[in-house]
Amino acid sequence: GIHLPSVLGWPVAFVLQLLVLGLLYIVADQWGNRQKD
């Protein structure tokens, strides 16, 4: 049969990883701007 958790797990994990990377990028950018001052 089809295992829905496996099918849905990959895209969800991929999106979550992108969100985490995006948040880290924003935090690093904000921290870099803060250090400039």
Give the whole-angstrom CA distance, residue 2 versus residue 8: 11
Which tokens is 2 given? 């089809």
Collapsing DSSP to helix, strand or coil, 3 comes out as coil
Rounded CA separation 24/6 (Å): 27
Model confidence at 23, pLDDT cuts 50, 70, 90, reads very high
Q: What is the mean pLDDT of residues 2-21?
A: 81
pLDDT score for 4:
61
| Pairwise CA distance, residues 26 & 14, whole Å | 18
Residue 28 DSSP label: H
Q: What is the mean pLDDT of the chain?
A: 85
| Entry pTM | 0.57
